[in-house]
Structure 1
Amino acid sequence: MMLFLSLLIAHHLADYYLQRHTWIMCKVQHHEKSIGLFYHILVHVGLTSCALYIALAQWTWLSTFALVFIITTHYAIDIWKTYQTFTARYYIADQLGHFVVLAITAASFIQFYPDLIVPSFSFLPFNHTEQISFLAWGLTLLFLGNPTGISYMVFFRPLTQNKDIGIAENDGEIFNNINSGAIARLTSVIIVGTGQFILATFLISLHLTWTYYQLLPFSKTDTAEQYSARKVFNYSYFLANHGLAVGLGVVLYLFT
């Protein structure tokens, strides 16, 4: 579990937080010859190496094999993705492919070489259970930031395309533009995950009320089609934000 969580954290950091937009555009334009892809893979090599070394407390030939397996498959999947359109099904296939590779890597160590995996991290002053909780919380907060934001941008794009309702697709830019969606998700998961259910209900209700009153002025300026699209987007976005955050918060509350 510690190895898998460590690899996932490294993946999210490299794929979402440390991948520059110029690298992505370079990949789309130049595919396997892209210098942006090369830089992106270098970041993955560094972070994945750190995750493997920390979770195994040593470096063996198996570590090298695991690193080569993860990086080559990531490279192949990313090249494949550059030839596809940026739509939900290809986005899901891309991330699912990376997830499966990391799961296979962690499962292989657990099944065949369990003695290599350290029971706890020596640099964290907590017991094993507390360290698992620490990793789970860290991964959840990372996931609800940029990865979830970019995912929503992909999934909700059809609700805003060709509607001219002025909704920007920038939810994934949590470091460059801290947006209300990211704040709502992170606030919900923290409050629910720490067991503050009454406070969570109050704040979510307050956010729903704020969403409702935000929409009122547009009922006078939008066409019927635009206003309908705006309502569908805003309420879907509200439910997705809090639904995912509350669900993960409950899991954290029960198991950490």
Structure 2
Amino acid sequence: MILFIKLLLAHLLGDFIWQPNSWVTDKEVKKHKSIYLYLHILLHGTLAAILVREIKFIPYAILIAVTHGAVDLVKLNFQKSKTKRTWFVVDQIAHVLILIGIVLLYENKAVSFSWINNQFWILLTGILLITKPTSIFIKTIISIWTPDNETSSDDSLASAGNYIGILERLFIFCFILIGHFEAIGFLLGAKSVFRFGDLKIAKDRKLTEYVLIGTLISFGIAIAVGLIVQALLLQLL
């Protein structure tokens, strides 16, 4: 675990802290012809070797540098302006998976899937249930009350309400599992300050009631799912 943390720290330093924006821009324009790509690769290998501080790890540090460069090259050559976010996520996931593989290889450990047990399936099902499926359920239930103002264009971010709902349900789910029910009240209060303050200024009663119904249904489902998952997990102990 300590080895992985050191390698992750090296990755964070090399990819975010000590990589100037000018390097990123130059790499995106020149791709494999950019000198900064190779400086970036060298930086990652050097950081990994320095943080681990073991002579026998040097070949693995070189492997980290080479694989990091290969992943970056794939991203640079295939990403487009519209797919930058997607490729950023894929790129970071690939780097972390490589680090995990390096740790297992260096410590001569086999990949273990013992963590995939009954608790895992219960948690996974609960988490997935309160994301998009719940959003669709809530949208369908309250669609009969959709006010005209909700469908008109405004200054809101695209799909912001949907993502806010998913995030708040995930927070509630975590609060219940760790036994901090008081945090749910804090979350509801924080949302009320921001969301319902705007609605009060808009002076639209129907829209306020519509949002309130959606919020209460969202919180209710998240609490119910959290309690059910908690009860199922306790039965397995």
Task: Output the TM-score relative to the length of structure 2.
Answer: 0.50
Q: Tell me which protein shows more helix as a share of its residues.
A: 2
Which entry has the higher C-alpha Rg, 1 or 2? Answer: 2
